[in-house]
Amino acid sequence: MCLGPGKATGTACVIKNKNEKIKFIEHSIVVCRTACFELLPYLKKSSGIITEQGAILSHAAIVSRELKIPFVAHIKNATEKIKNGQKIFIDADKGIVKIVK
């Protein structure tokens, strides 16, 4: 599901728990279960967002559209399939997420 249109390529920053220590590099693609308010500082500096859950009127969806950050939601097991540091391509317009080799 596209919640913020556009395309992006970047390094994955997988966040499984909002309370964990997060090693974030600016312009990474944030991968998480749900994009909650506590992750906003990372979302604002990301080049893309991938979540396992999400809704069109969620806070993160609105932020992504305002900041023109591609956001794809409902990617099943994204936090398990994508690893920190992997290069990721997302096409939010088409709902495509690819691990770039």
Question: What residues are annotated to the active site?
Answer: 59
Structure tokens at 12: 């994955």
Residue 82 CA to residue 85 CA, distance in Å, equals 9
Position of tokens 């979302």?
A: 43
Residue 66 CA to residue 68 CA, distance in Å, equals 6
Strands (E) in 1-101, as ranges, are: 2-4, 7-15, 29-32, 48-51, 71-72, 87-91, 96-100
